Amino acid sequence: MIDTHCHLDYLDDPASARGELGLDAMVCIGAGLEHARSAVALAEQFPDVWATVGIHPTETEDDTPEHRAELEQLARHPRVVGIGETGLDDYWDAEQRPQQRAALEWQLDLARRAGKPLVIHVRDKKGEDSAHRGLLEVLPGWEDIPLILHCFAGNRDLLAYGLERGAYFGFAGNVTFKNAPEIQAAAREVPLDRLLLETDAPFLAPVPRRGKPNRPGYVRHTLEFVAALRGLEATALEQQTDRNAERIYGIRLPEVAGN
């Protein structure tokens, strides 16, 4: 099984997190230059790790000409399968919107030039939707970029846009929370061939691990929950979501490659 979005380099011992609960592969997200370097280094070290590189919207201090130049180089690395995560985040400071938008548009352009999908992060303060509305203002100008809507929060407007656009939707541990009916509704509605499963480790540990540091292998708890939501066998959903991950990221599981 593939964890399509984790921060492996945030963990105390990344090597020990690999292979837990039968995990076959993971995509380590580069959310800023330092983390992009770490993600690529882990992908070089371990054959079951791939990387993305980018600037997280809360890390806009990394959006400098020097950092862009290095990220451009890292984006061409053969173990790098995506750009981002990037997007808009009004949870902490909506005043950063101009810098976030500039970083997002640069990464959209980088994804186009690199021929790799863009991993999108979007987060609002509770009860607000300014970041989602802002994202929907930007994305229609970049219709040719493959998108992964990471940790999808259930926003109906973004859901409708993503379905029409052909985006992929990543569901993390928060889909298992009791207070997440919008996310659960979206997890039922997204077509099976565009559904991805992720942990966002070490964040958002799923039930029954909620409240503890998340681990890539815990994606299996999310798998089992979403399979039950959709009335599917977990094995069937695992096979489908792995195929989806291989398709959008252009990766192959080791055992598949050997067949």
Question: Could you tell me where the DSSP H helices lie in 207-249?
Answer: 219-230, 234-249
Q: Identify the band that residue 256 occupies on the pLDDT scale cut at 50, 70 and 90.
A: very low
DSSP element (H, E) containing 70: helix 65-75
Q: What domain range includes position 165?
A: 2-254
Q: Which amino acid is at 220?
A: R
Within 13 Å and on the Cβ side, how many CA atoms surround 175? 33
259 pLDDT tier (thresholds 50, 70, 90): very low
200-219 per-position pLDDT tens digit: 999 999 999 999 999 999 99
- With respect to residue 218, please indicate whether it lies within any of the assigned structural domains: yes
In a domain, 54, yes or no: yes
**Residue 164, in any domain of the structure:** yes
**Tally of CB atoms within 10 A around 196:** 25
Q: What CATH number is given to the structural domain containing 44?
A: 3.20.20.140
Residues 6 or more apart whose CB falls under 8 angstroms from that of 181 comprise 154
pLDDT beyond 50 at 185? yes
- Write the CA distances from 219 to 51, 79, 191, 223, integer angstroms: 18, 22, 19, 6
* Residue 190 burial (CB count, 10 A): 23
pLDDT at 154: 97
Domain count, the chain: 1
Q: Is 140 inside a domain boundary? A: yes
- Write the pLDDT tens digit of every residue in 18-75: 878 889 999 999 999 999 999 999 999 999 999 999 999 999 988 999 999 999 999 9
Residue type, 100: Q
Question: Does the pLDDT value for residue 255 go beyond 80?
Answer: no
Q: From CA 252, how far away is CA 24, in angstroms rounded?
A: 10
Alpha helices in 190-233 (DSSP H): 219-230
In this prediction, residue 214 carries a pLDDT of 96
pLDDT of residue 177 exceeding 90, the answer is yes
User: Within a domain: residue 259?
Assistant: no
pLDDT band of 136, cuts 50, 70, 90:
very high
Q: What tens digit of pLDDT does each residue of 122-134 get?
A: 999 989 999 999 9
Does residue 157 lie within any of the structural domains? yes
In the sheet with 25-28, reading across from the earlier edge strand, the strands are 2-6, 25-28, 49-53, 80-89, 118-123, 147-149, 168-171, 195-197
Instruction: Say whether pLDDT at 258 is over 60.
Output: no
Who's near 137: CB < 8 A, 6+ residues apart? Answer: none
